Structure 1
Amino acid sequence: MSDVTLQNFEADVIEMSRQVPVLVDFWAPWCGPCRTLGPMLEKLEAESGGKWKLAKVNVDENQDLAAHFGVRSIPHVVAFADGEAVDQFVGVLPESGLREFLDRLTPNPGELALREARELAAAGDAEGARAAYQAALAFDPGADDARLAYVGFLLDHDAIDEAEAEFGLLSPRAPQEDGYAALQTRLEAAKNVGDLPDATALSAHVLTNPTDLAARLDLANVLIARREYEPALEQLLEIVRRDRGFGEDIGRKTMLSVFDLLAGRPDVVSRWRRQLSTALN
């Protein structure tokens, strides 16, 4: 537990919440309900073993902070995670209600392992990331978001057979997850690329046979498997321009999946969306 003022709010609440959730208890010495809620929160923080932190703001001494968060009645508790206010309640909850509130706020072990896996992958620790992904799925085998992230990681490291096996373990709800269609496209491209000519041969063929849309699609799939997404989009867009109905609109549908794969580059996606819109009109 820490006492927080305007001077240390950024460090003790905002920055700390990027590591673990922080509950900010707005209280005052004269507030009877505050004297009931405060000890309950302190007890639960001690029991949590560091899964979340408690910060207390005396509203009499920190009126600017109270006003900033719209505190009109106390006790007023605001929960922070990843640098943002994410939940709150006013008044005194029973201990069971507090535990439910905290359960919504604190990540389960699977979520913590998934976060670690992503951080290790970003840092280039492939072995550590693989172990963390596997741990996340061991905690919660039904976590489609974790399995999709693991599939993407395996594809990044050319572990195609493993990626296909993991993709097959997704639940029937998985198609509703963000990125599902994009990963499916990428996996299919990676699986099929071994049976196709290389990109150089396909490019030469398309250059001399511009109406061979099947070859253009093959080339696009090779480029997707190599994560050369913009050249792939060039081929897919040409398919749309030449024959919208080819392969049951496969050109446009695959472009949409590639847009998802390029989600981290919104400027690129925006440019290609405009070109696709022009081709469809």
Structure 2
Amino acid sequence: MSDVTLQNFETEVIDASRHAPVLVDFWAPWCGPCRTLGPMLERLEAEAGGQWKLVKVNVDENQELAAHFGVRSIPHVVAIAEGQAVDQFIGVLPESGLREFLGRLSPKPAQLALYDAQQLAAEGDRAGAGAKFAEAIALDPETDAARLAYIGFLLDGNAIDDAKQQFEALSPGAAQQDAYAALRTRIEAMENLSGLPDEATLTGRIAADPGDLAARLDLARLLIARQQYEPALEQLLAIVRTDRGFEDDIGRKTMLSVFEMLADRPEVVSRWRRQLSTSLN
């Protein structure tokens, strides 16, 4: 068990969850139920022998993290696997309930294939990763997690047509998952890339006329396609500050999609969310 803050969240939770599920226990010293749940989780973690990891987040000291995960009541436990929140519960569960919850986190064959795919992708073995992604999808075709990860992998390799084909194969329920809007925005940005002016032309237009919101939007799309998300957010925020009504509030809407692309970097998202919130007030 370790204490986690916004500063080390990416290393201790996001990166660690790529090797084993991580339980994030949102608590506070004044919370009586938290003092009941915490020792139970610590004992079960010791019993698990490394099959999953427990971390604790003090909500009083880490309000941005709590807000990022929508924590309104504690104790609130969120399970993270492969960098994504996959399950959660609020309050104190009996030990039998905790064991049932933890049992759902045990990796299934499709999940193991997905882990292997992502590891191979990180190592640069795109052929091996592609085969493992296909295996994960075949093992559990009704679940969208592997297909969503595969779409991101295909986009990283500029395989836009293949990514679009996989995107169209997602279930209707996939639209409720965090990655859906982010991937759709990436696909649209990459599709439009060939029709966009080059970066030098766009930056020149903005320098000549900071109110050229069309140029700012095109530049943001160009940067999103290159996965240069923070410079893209800078252009989108400028659009929000200048004209909320521009193209049906596209600046704000696209910022929200980029936040999903940066879900594994909550400190970055928190910083830009604050700026967006200030601009909307």
TM-score (norm 2): 0.65
Cα deviation, residue 278, structure 1: 1.3
Q: Secondary structure of 1:231's match?
A: helix
Partner SS state of residue 246, structure 2: coil
2:255 aligns with 255
Q: Equivalents in 1 of 2:20, 2:207: separation in Å?
A: 53
Shift of the alpha carbon at 1:184?
A: 1.0
Aligned-partner residue type, residue 148 of structure 2: L
Larger Rg: 1
Secondary structure, in 3 states, of the residue corresponding to 2:192? helix
Contact 2:20 2:53 (8 Å CA) reproduced: no
- Distance in structure 2 (CA, Å) of the matches to 1:101 and 1:172: 26
- Compared with structure 1, are the counterparts of its residues 274 and 101 closer, same or farther at alpha carbon in structure 2 (3 Å cutoff)? closer
Unaligned runs of 5+ residues in structure 2 are: 1-18, 22-38, 56-78, 80-93
Q: Which residue does the alignment assign to 1:160?
A: 160
Report the CA distance shift for 1:120/1:246 in structure 2 as closer, same or farther (over 3 A): same
CA distance in 1, matches of 2:153, 2:140: 18
Using the alignment, how far apart are the partners of 1:111 and 1:158 within structure 2?
25
Percent of aligned pairs with the same amino acid:
57
Q: Say whether the 8 Å CA contact 2:137–2:146 is kept in structure 1.
A: yes
Matched, 1:236 2:236: yes
Would the aligned equivalents of 1:78 and 1:89 in 2 still touch at CA under 8 Å? no
For the residues of structure 1 that align with 2:184 and 2:20, how far apart are their CA atoms? 33
Q: Does 1:82 align with 2:52?
A: yes
Distance (Å, rounded) in 2 between the aligned partners of 1:127 and 1:177: 27
Shift of 1:103: 7.6
Paired positions, count:
205
Bigger RCO (CA 8 Å, 6+ sep):
2
Distance change in 2, residues 1:188/1:101 (3 Å): closer
Q: Where in structure 1 do 4 or more consecutive aligned residues deviate above 6 Å?
A: 77-80, 100-103
When residues 116 and 243 of structure 1 are mapped into structure 2, their CA distance, relative to the original with a 3 A threshold, is same
Provide the C-alpha distance between the structure 2 equivalents of 1:122 and 1:221, rounded to a whole number of angstroms: 25
Q: Deviations over 1:216-263 (max 9, x none)?
A: 111100000011111111110010011011111110111111112122
Among candidates 25, 43, 46, match of residue 69 of structure 1: 43
Partner residue of 2:197? Answer: 197
Question: 2: CA distance between counterparts of 1:19 and 1:271?
Answer: 28
The one-letter code sitting in structure 1 at the alignment partner of 2:220 is A
Alignment of 1:1-281 (within 5 A): 69=43, 81-83=51-53, 89=96, 104=104, 106-281=106-281
Q: Secondary structure at the match of 1:143?
A: coil
CA-to-partner distance for each residue in 1:72-130, whole Å, 9 max, x for gaps? Answer: xxxxx97973235999549xxxxxxxxx9998464332111111111111222221111
- C-alpha RMSD over aligned residues: 3.1
User: Within 2, Cα distance between the matches of 1:273 and 1:195?
Assistant: 30
Taking structure 1 as the reference length, what is the TM-score of the superposition? 0.65
The letter for the 2-side match of 1:69 is R
Residues 152 and 183 of structure 2 are in contact (CA less than 8 Å); yes or no, is this contact kept in structure 1?
yes
Q: Secondary structure at the match of 1:141?
A: coil
Partners of 1:79 and 1:88 within 8 A in 2: no
